[in-house]
Structure 1
Amino acid sequence: MAAFAMLSLVLLRLFAVQAAGVGVVDDGRSFTACLAAAGVGNVTTRESPAYAAALLVSVQNLRFAGAGAPKPFAVVVPASLQELRDSVRCARAAGLVLRLRSGGHSYEGLSYTTDDDDRTAFAVVDLAALDRVDADRRTGTAWVQSGATLGQTYHAVAAAASGSGPAAALAFSAGSCPTVGSGGHIAGGGFGLLSRKFGLAADNVVDAVLVDAAGRVLDRAAMGEDVFWAIRGGGGGTWGAVYAWRVRLSAVPDRVTAFVVNRAPGSVRSVASLVSTWQHVAPWLPDEFYISAFVGAGLPELKKKKLNRTGISVTFKGLYLGPAHEALEILTARFPEIGLSDLDPKEMSWIESVVFFSGLPEGSTVSDLTDRVLHQKNYFKAKSDYVRRPMTLEQLIRAIDLLSKQPKAYVILDPYGGAMDRVGSADLPFPHRKGNIHGIQYLIEWAASDDDHKEEYMDWLRRFYDFMGAYVPKKPRTAYINYMDLDLGTNNWSGHRTDNDIDKSPHPEVEAARAWGERYFLGNYDRLVRAKTLIDPENVFRNAQSIPPLGGVQCMIRSTRGISPKITSNGSTYDS
């Protein structure tokens, strides 16, 4: 009798999750029933009193936390690889679009909401419980589950390297915000303070485990090199659900040097002069040196220190992989204008430098890097550019003069060069390599009390971005997918288009998406379309700026074999 009951349970589970095609959209009840039959327990629907907490826990851009933002039917938190597979299959059977959320830092909220043109019912699969990091000092690699934040990843990597000697500290090259999820960050490329030395996060991925739209579990060999290429920089939420990344770690010195120097406030000309010098120095410093520039009339660093000064200012943030005396020697020779007298560079371990640049509250420690919610949330809009030749001093004066008039806005200038120049523009989907001297991130932020004026603030940022168009490369004007910007264009899955020429194309969705796709990916866009057609021809994983497949082509990846749901890492086997 017990055996019969067990067999019935197994058959019910298989029936519930083995949907072969895309289902018809229902009211969502079949989705929750399917999940219940599959044994997925952490499911919160709109009717639940816990719904708001489950949805908002990692909504990082509060612009999408209000009542007007479209909300998912349910939030599912899978606790294992099998539960992730079941979540994908059940959503597909119910006809629900999936939003995959690892840290909730999508600039346009697309990991937990949807844009105005795509009101298809959707569910959020929150990967927060899939946050294991297994770092192996012996192989110099780590398996990082997609729900692990960068802070959790860095903490685990540093712990694995501790006690290994002064020349054997390990690091991972990725971004500086510790609550960013590794899943989305790596999927978009992943630039950070170590990128001039070790490249992007995606440059250091050597394997991955992907759950495709059919619920198959695919490693690098099973998904094939075209899809493996695409998932490393082609954007998140497009190819399937990445369960885990295997990443290459990098050896760093036992002690590094970090500093933050504020030049505030100053005249427009004096700030422009400093930025002009930075443009001619930072991209050509030794690979071990990273110095970014923050420019604005209300910089976060000054607010954090409660320096309520008015006027335009510039803040330089520097990391040098070496001792302080070497950093000072380089700056004395190459960038004395930064102001050496009060620079006060500090030597620390690499993991301590992560805390130093993290933006966490004053007094935070290395252990705080594992806190998923400690970083401050805010309301913001962002845009981006790439620069291939320095702006002239007069151009900088005009731009900084305009920027000085809006204290809620600022720009971040990230230096490129170094290792970024040594990777080909087509080696990965992220094409912004040799010839780009720095990136620009434009941001405007506001408080809850100012949210009634958000359209005014966002319009100001758009006008400033348009103004900057005269000084940056065009045809196309490029952007970074991890600084997602729906102003560049969106997909229209409804099929109602006003451009007759695009509508006459054999693949209108592909041609319509080219308008924004080539700005992020340049000549890699068409290869991404082919990869999408291989891995997700029915477009199960989609959002406002996901790569579309070639319509009507029912291709599957060339290998249908999967891998075991158990992933081997560091000599042990696990599936959660």
Structure 2
Amino acid sequence: MMRKYGLGADNVIDARIVDASGRIHDRASMGEDLFWAIRGGGGASFGVILWWKIKLVPVPSTVTVFTVARTLEQGATKLLHRYQQVAASELDEDLFIRVVIQPTVIDTKSGNKTITTLYQAQFLGGVDRLLDIMGTSFPELALTRKDCTQTSWLKSVMYIAGYPSGTPPEVLLQGKSTFKNYFKAKSDFVKDPIPESGLEGLWKRLFEQASPLVIFNPYGGMMSKIPESEIPFPHRKGVLFKIQYLTTWQNGEEDEEQHMDWIRKLYNYMAPYVTMFPRQAYVNYRDLDLGINKKSNISFIEASAWGNRYFKDNFNKLIKIKTKVDPDNFFRHEQSIPPLPLPLRKSSTTVR
């Protein structure tokens, strides 16, 4: 529902945190600087979050979902190019359509493959209004009534998550995945549609892997209206969609090298088509290829290699807040926010 209401972090109105001294704070006692930092500033850099208080948002009693598949033989490349032009800027903010992209076998004897693009959607409303919107804004998908399922919001969550029909919603309370494998993920943000030639090059690289996955998640709507500095998450106005790249395998270290090599080459290939200076990345898909802290010897200059990609200009404010609330760097990990070194701290006492 991010195109309608923004991120979960945008809707946090209070929190409780344990600081480096073991004290427990709520929003009032932690102060607005720290409250700003923990809403999207990367987990485990500032303290231990005990709970969030989140503003609830209105959702209609009936929502509509659909999944429509299109292969290369059905014009998937041209359709995906059109999707990039409308998904963020022209579609109603009640409508979220992501595209799940993966190679599929079309002939088991020959092993021939195609690329399948799955258009998977959640619409905050009924099927009649959805069909009107799609007919006006994205008729190329040729959505029909029989493609659509009217359901409740909770069941739509189950649907998008891929649970089989009839699965009880209590499964969401387990908090753990039902499948286990090894994987490597990377991310990009896109501000200009990837040309068809660029997509065709992507297809070639997907054919090289046994189990790759690429997902386009649309932005726009409310995401374009919230200022970049509102919370640490900066990927707002102008972003068309976010890309997640994923490769998975089963045999641990035995197969790791080939999968890591493949996804890094894919990431290099996509460089001309995504954001630049910095090439932005999504902090929740932690990518240690972007750089890591060296145990307790953390350099804020080296940390800029990933900090600017995750947070853009907000990284500088995060560093100042870290220096203020955890100067000894008690809370740290491979890509945590570093404090300023001692010689530079006098000039950073005021957080702006």
C-alpha separation in 2, matches of 1:416 and 1:436: 6
- Out of 278, 289, 294, the residue aligned to residue 487 of structure 1 is 289
Larger Rg: 1
Letter in 1 for 2:77: A
Question: Do 1:296 and 1:407's aligned partners in 2 also have CA atoms closer than 8 Å?
Answer: no
Structure-2 residue corresponding to 1:271 = 76
CA contact (8 A) 1:298 1:407 kept: no
Using the alignment, how far apart are the partners of 2:13 and 2:149 within structure 1?
A: 34
1:221 to 7, 16, 28: 28
Deviation at 1:395, TM superposition (A): 1.9
Deviations 1:290-347 (A, max 9, x none): 0000112149xx9xxxxx9832110011111110111111112222222324852011
Is residue 85 of structure 2 the alignment partner of residue 280 of structure 1?
yes
* 1:554 to partner: Cα distance: 9.9
More strand by share: 2
Pair 1:296 & 2:102 matched: yes
Q: Percent identity?
A: 42
Give the 3-state SS of the residue equivalent to 1:511 in structure 2.
Answer: helix
Report matched runs for 1:312-351 at 5 Å. 312-341=115-144, 344-351=147-154
| Distance of 1:394 and 1:554 partners within structure 2 | 52
Is the Cα–Cα contact under 8 Å of residues 230 and 531 in structure 1 kept in the other structure? yes
Q: Quote the offset at 1:270 in angstroms.
A: 2.4
Amino acid at match of 1:223: M
Structure 1 residues 361 and 375: CA distance shift in structure 2, 3 A: farther
Structure 1 position 532 matched with structure 2 position 338: no
Give the letter for the 2:117 counterpart. Answer: V
Secondary structure class of the residue paired with 1:491: coil
Of the two structures, which has the highest relative contact order with CA contacts closer than 8 Å and spacing of 6 or more?
2
Distance 1:536 1:281 in 2: 44
The one of 53, 67, 75 aligned to 1:260: 67
TM-score, normalising length: structure 1: 0.57
Per-residue CA shift, 1:97-124, capped at 9, x if unaligned? xxxxxxxxxxxxxxxxxxxxxxxxxxxx
CA 383–535 in structure 1, closer or farther in 2 if over 3 Å, else same? same
What TM-score, normalized by structure 2, do the two folds share? Answer: 0.91
Please tell me the residue identity of whatever aligns with 1:289: L
1:433 has 2:239 as partner:
no
Q: Which moved more, 1:231-240 or 1:388-397?
A: 388-397
Aligned residues: 342
Structure 1 residues without counterparts, runs of 5 or longer: 1-193, 303-307, 496-507, 559-576
1:368 CA drift (Å): 2.1
Question: Structure 2: 5+ residue runs without aligned partners?
Answer: none
Question: Where has structure 1 moved over 6 Å in runs of 4 or more?
Answer: none
For residue 464 of structure 1, give the secondary structure of its aligned residue in structure 2.
helix
Q: 2:51 aligns with which of 241, 244, 256?
A: 244
CA distance in 2, matches of 1:374, 1:438: 26
Structure 2 Cα separation of the partners of residues 332 and 451 of structure 1: 49
State the 1:363 CA deviation: 3.4
Is residue 426–residue 524 contact of structure 1 (8 Å, CA) maintained in 2? yes
Classify the secondary structure of the residue corresponding to 1:329. helix
What residue identity is the alignment partner of 1:467? Y
Q: Could you say if the C-alpha distance between residues 429 and 298 of structure 1 is closer, same or farther in structure 2, counting changes exceeding 3 Å?
A: farther
- Report the equivalent of 1:522: 312
* Superposition deviation, residue 374 in structure 1: 5.3
Tell me the CA shift for residue 234 of structure 1.
Answer: 0.4
Contact 2:219–2:239 at 8 Å: present in 1 too?
Answer: yes
State the partner residue of 2:39. 232
What SS does the aligned partner of 1:326 have?
helix
Say whether the 8 Å CA contact 2:127–2:145 is kept in structure 1.
no
| 3-state SS of paired residue (1:405) | coil
**Any residues of structure 2 matched to 1:118-133 within 5 Å, and which?**
none
